[in-house]
Structure 1
Amino acid sequence: MTHFTDESQKAIAELARQDAARALQEDVGNGDLTAGLIDPVRRARALILARESAVLCGAPWLEEAVHQLDPQARITWLVAEGQRCVADQVVAEIEGQARALLTAERTALNYLQLLSGVATTTAMYVDAVKGTRARIVDTRKTLPGLRLAQKYAVRTGGGTNHRIGLYDAVLIKENHIAAAGGVAPVLQAAAQLMREGAAQAAFVEIEVETLVQLDEALQAGATMVLLDNMDIPGLNEAVRLNAGRAILEISGGVTLKSLRALAETGVDRISIGALTKDVKAIDFSMRFQEL
């Protein structure tokens, strides 16, 4: 599991608060008609069960979904964030107002299922490249409105975040190269942008499709290069040609089956859209017990 700083934990808590508020409004609207059948003073205990093995992720979101409806509810985690759980394991116990728990149930489980799915998938890819220098990196292929939550889940699963959006880094792709008139001119423009301080970019990266383009990018001073859809022989040659000058990243058509061979070429990063795009939610359920 990735360890988060106190500052990032505060940001995560605020993100979870905002996400949960939006999701509860979407689900509850003017009121939960079915939960209204329950005596308002009745209390309940609920167990959160994992129905399959997973890396647990999404605790801050589940807690917010419950506490925004019952601030006094008590939540006890039996499996910590980022730890693995197994099928039929109780991962949390909740005690609070029965109405609130019933209303919060779907929103809380939706976040836990989605984010645990991302973290679990990421952990599988991270495990597959152990012993190599390659790091597993996410992309911007996220569910609209949930990008930051999904990128948090990638980190919880042991992966690395790429740029958050269009505003925090420069990633020069094929159409940018064409529009700027070539590899060298677009890198010159990026260097000028950075010198002028007009944008606070975390990095400048350029995507290339051929070894000729890679050589041109390196000659123009590129320090981070994305190798798009290259085969294994091409990647081996790219690593040799690069000779450690730039950070090399692979993208395009990466699968769990092909991952190890790609990592063993010696590249530094492998970005995978499937971490956040093709999400298989983890099955969790909530079961009530009488107090």
Structure 2
Amino acid sequence: MLTRQVIRTAVEAALEEDAPNGDITCETTIPAEAHGTARLVARQAGVMSGIAVFEAAFAAQNPDVTVHADIKDGERFEPRQTLATVSGPVRDLLTAERIALNFTQRMCGIATMTDAFVEAAAGARELPGYVAPRTYVGTRIVDTRKTTPGLRPFEKYAVTCGGGHNHRYGLSDAVMVKDNHVAALAEQGIDMAGAIRHIREQVGHTTHIEVEVDRLEQIDAALAGGADTIMLDNFSLEDTRRGVERIDGHAIVEASGNMTLERVPQVAATGVDVISVGALTHSVSAIDLGLDWD
């Protein structure tokens, strides 16, 4: 979770990385008594994420810096819109500027891309032959564990700002039996259904069990074992539709694999409950934001 402690630790580490022995440019050019004000301005349209992180970057440099936010996380913004105003000692504003922007630009990029995928999934309702998901009102867009090491709390939070949902946070949160696990079990003569039952006996009753399948023939075993979620990995649209029909509401259906904005509406129209998109965090472009000085 993106707690205040997580934010503080990350921004302090970033400042230490960027200015381990101070900011020699500011110290040799800006008078120590100089105070100023700057505005966080959008250079392009997007969805806000990371206001608290933006504030924390300046506070870590100097607690006397004040930040006034003009937007909330999850809200859309347009080019040239002022998102926040910062005031304080000019040296400290300039030293923390890049750290504040680095976090906020990436988080806004993730939120903005997520928003586009959520809208694309909603567009499935307009397609012929649309099938509504069994579990949720509409197909959910979720992230994956393909995050930047050390920045997972920030990136997963940004996904929620864009209207998406989080998959498991990490390996400790849920059981997820993937193709490599299945292959390893097969070498030991253990079938999928038996493996799922064995897992169920070992974990707590609140632990979710998900199983990845890469062909229709594996679905029956996953159902027989009692999987809570069945992931259809890299299925064709026709096989995805068949998979949804075969599962028939007995498990949450997740679709995964090379999801694009163009493909998502068609996948959502098959009736899957969840579409996981790794690109939300591993292939995102930062939103262009800047500090304009008054």
TM-score (normalised: structure 2):
0.91
* Structure 2: tracts of 5 or more residues without a match: 126-131, 133-137
Asked if the contact 1:167/1:201 (under 8 Å) is kept, the reply is: no
Aligned residue runs from structure 1 range 50-129, under 5 A: 50-129=42-121
Q: Give me the whole-angstrom Cα distance separating, in 2, the residues matched to 1:16 and 1:117.
A: 18
Q: In 1, distance between residues paired with 2:198 and 2:9?
A: 38
1:225 to 200, 217, 230: 230
Match of 2:195 among 161, 186, 191: 186
Regions of 4+ moved over 3 Å: none
What amino acid is the match of 1:31? G
- Alignment of structure 1 residues 250-289 onto 2, 5 Å: 250-289=255-294
Give, in angstroms, the shift of residue 128 of structure 1.
1.1
Query: How many Å apart are 1:188 and its aligned residue?
Result: 2.1
What is residue 22 of structure 2 aligned with on the other side?
31
The letter of the residue matching 1:111 is F
How far apart are the structure 2 equivalents of 1:221 and 1:93? 53
Q: Distance in 2 between matches of 1:201 and 1:85?
A: 39
1: CA distance, partners of 2:228 / 2:150: 31
Shift of 1:201: 6.7
Rounded Cα–Cα distance in structure 2 between residues aligned with 1:201 and 1:31: 49
Moved more, 242-251 or 212-221: 212-221
Report the Cα offset of residue 189 of structure 1.
2.4
CA contact (8 A) 1:117 1:280 kept: yes
Measure the CA separation in 2 of the matches of 1:193 and 1:107.
Answer: 44
Residues 19 and 61, structure 1, Cα contact 8 Å, conserved in 2: no
Output aligned runs, 1:155-170, within 5 Å.
Answer: 155-170=160-175
Asked whether the equivalents of residues 20 and 107 of structure 1 are also in contact (C-alpha less than 8 Å), the reply is yes
Partner secondary structure for residue 227 of structure 1: strand
Taking only the aligned residue pairs, the percentage that are identical comes to: 40
Provide the rounded CA distance (Å) in 2 between the counterparts of 1:202 and 1:52: 42
Could you state the TM-score of these two structures normalised by the residue count of structure 1?
Answer: 0.92
Deviations 1:208-258 (A, max 9, x none): 011110111112222210100001110111111111100000011111100
CA contact (8 A) 2:193 2:223 kept: no
Question: How far apart are the structure 2 equivalents of 1:126 and 1:245?
Answer: 25
Gaps of at least 5 residues in structure 1 are 1-7
CA RMSD of aligned residues (A): 1.4
Amino acid at match of 2:46: A
Aligned residues: 276
SS of aligned partner of 2:97: helix
Q: Which amino acid aligns with 1:128?
A: A
Counterpart CA distance in 2 for 1:221 and 1:204 is 8
TM-aligned CA deviation for residue 102 of structure 1 = 0.4
Contact map agreement 1:150 1:276 (CA 8 A) in 2: yes
1 CA distance for matches of 2:105 and 2:195? 42
